[in-house]
Amino acid sequence: MNYRIEHDSMGELQVPADKLWGAQTQRSCQNFRIGVGLETMPREITHAFGILKKAAALANIQCKPEKMTEAKCKAICAACDEVISGQLNDHFPLVVWQTGSGTQSNMNANEVIANRGNAIAGEKLLHPNDDINMSQSSNDTFPTAIHIAAVLALEDKVVPAAQKLIETFKRLEKENEGVVKSGRTHLQDATPIAFSQEISGWRSSLERDVELIGLSLKPLKELALGGTAVGTGLNAPKGFDVAVAKAVSDLTGKEFRTAGNKFHALTSKDELVFAHGALKALAADLMKIANDVRWLASGPRDGLGEIFIPENEPGSSIMPGKVNPTQCEAVTMVAVQVMGNDATVGFAASQGNFELNVFMPVLAYNFLQSARLLAECMVSFHDNCVVGIRANREKMKHNLHNSLMLVTALNPYIGYENAAKTAKLAYKENISLKEACVKLGFLTEEKFDEVFHPEQMI
């Protein structure tokens, strides 16, 4: 491998000649051989750094034109566009397990953008610290990158995926109006419910989750940028924080604003805890929906069998013809991963010592993994399962009329205790509710037929 010599404040270092990073990135590669190739800093963070570094250059040319020249700004913006597009992903090798402030990832961005910008300009125009990091610190850039990445992940990935499921559930509601089935509580037979009503519960849960995510977005759109090292804004010109937030807004199409209190923005991660709580709520509801679907589809002969779902792949290496609810299982595994991530996010957010939180990379990793997994599993669940859900109307009708809990309809006519006796006799002797009720002398056959209408119990 060919190398070139780079240097930082600690001295010279060999760097692979084909890579755009510099000495500080190289030191991190050598000092943190933890999870290499498995737990690289999320690409959402790399993307966010491209946005914020471009925004910083645009703000600096307004606030410090004597330092940020047109030529420098143009080169920085061009290099940042390549970072944003993902063209330079191979030049961001650092793992999550590094300094808790994300300093090395900030310097990775500074070095890559400086070197690429110099190549674009055709001259040694840019310095990683003096130009790319102008008016900034790792301590305000990394929390800013997390907020930008979180907002983009929630608004552009998670919410659209949830809306896709919601729309299909709306369609299924309309298609199944008037289809009555047995309800179930405690995994036991309960009074009837319309299948459309059951689906409406799934749909409404997701709508509420989208609403909760929406509530978390406003505080996430406050940016720490401009607080620099400890929140005082040292070395940042007046107005930089407002200008850079506006530039981020223009670049993303989202309404970001500068944080009202930078001391809070650097050390507290409560906004991310709150937002991840909304993701955990979504995970909990997806767990419930996926479990409902696989229970209702259980069988094909010895389960509930009340719905049909798409048969996507063979389900067993030994049992021929077996097909399993694999999409449901994937959703439930994602749900438990998100719940575990929530614990990490909470613990990480609690480590705000004095003026800085030093667990930000692992917080970012877990938050963004949750958002990514939820968005992708909802799309997969939708495309490979939910769109193909069909009611097994004959089985629903059979189960409904075989349910002893229909006896609840008789309460107003024979009372709770007599209704209980009717249900128990029907179960014990394996006869119908009608036969049991008449046998016990509570109602005549004619009166039973007059008052007993399961389809009207919904």
Q: What is the DSSP letter of 42?
A: P
Reply yes or no on whether the pLDDT at 84 is more than 90.
yes
Q: Which of 50, 110, 60 is nearest to 244 (CA)?
A: 60
- Give 398's contacts (C-beta < 8 A, 6+ positions apart): none
Cβ(179)–Cβ(196) under 8 Å? yes
Per-residue pLDDT band for 36 (boundaries 50, 70, 90) equals confident
pLDDT digits (tens, 9 = 90+) for 167-195: 999 999 999 999 999 999 999 999 999 99
- pLDDT score recorded for residue 39: 95
Per CATH, which fold does 19-134 belong to? Answer: Fumarase C; Chain B, domain 1 (1.10.275)
Quickly list H helices, 86-184. 103-121, 138-153, 159-175
CB contact at 8 A, 247 and 239: no
Active-site annotation holder among 7, 204, 316, 453: 316
CB 100 within 8 A of CB 106: no
CA 70/CA 14 separation, integer angstroms? 32
Q: How far apart are CA 386 and CA 377, in angstroms?
A: 12
- Using a pLDDT cut of 90, give the percent of the chain over it: 95
Is 436 within 8 Å of 425 (Cβ atoms)?
yes
pLDDT band at 58 (very low <50, low <70, confident <90, very high): very high
- Is 9 assigned a catalytic role? no
Q: What is the average per-residue pLDDT within 60-73? A: 97
Closest CA to 76 of 129, 117, 131: 117
Burial grade of 430 (CB within 10 A; 0-12, 13-18, 19 or more): exposed
Condensed to tens digits (0 to 9), the pLDDT of residues 94-119 reads 999 999 999 999 999 999 999 999 99
Q: Does the pLDDT at position 362 exceed 90?
A: yes
Residue ranges per domain, the chain? 19-134, 140-394, 403-456
Rounded to an integer, what distance in angstroms lies between the CA atom of residue 356 and that of residue 360?
10
Taking 90 as the threshold, does the pLDDT of residue 455 lie above it? no
Would you state the structure tokens that stand for residue 172, as one six-digit string?
A: 């299924």
Q: What is the pLDDT of residues 402-416, one digit of tens each?
A: 999 999 999 999 999
What average pLDDT score do residues 307-317 get?
A: 92
367 and 146 in contact (C-beta within 8 Å)?
yes
Q: CB of 153 within 8 A of CB of 370?
A: no
Give the phi and the psi of residue 254 in degrees, each rounded to 5: -110, 155
What superfamily would CATH give domain 140-394? Fumarase/aspartase (Central domain) (1.20.200.10)
| Confidence bin at 38 (pLDDT 50/70/90) | confident
Give the CATH H-level superfamily of domain 403-456.
Fumarase/aspartase (C-terminal domain) (1.10.40.30)
Residue 1, pLDDT > 90, answer no
Q: Write the DSSP assignment of 264-305 as a string of letters.
A: HHHH--HHHHHHHHHHHHHHHHHHHHHHHHHHHT--SSSS--
Q: Catalytic residue at 205?
A: no
Return the amino acid letter for 166: I
Q: What is the mean pLDDT of the chain?
A: 96
Q: What is the pLDDT of residue 37?
A: 83
* Whether 344 contacts 363, CB under 8 Å: yes
What is the pLDDT averaged over residues 350-365? 97
pLDDT digits (tens, 9 = 90+) for 6-16: 998 999 989 99
Place of tokens 């996926």: 290
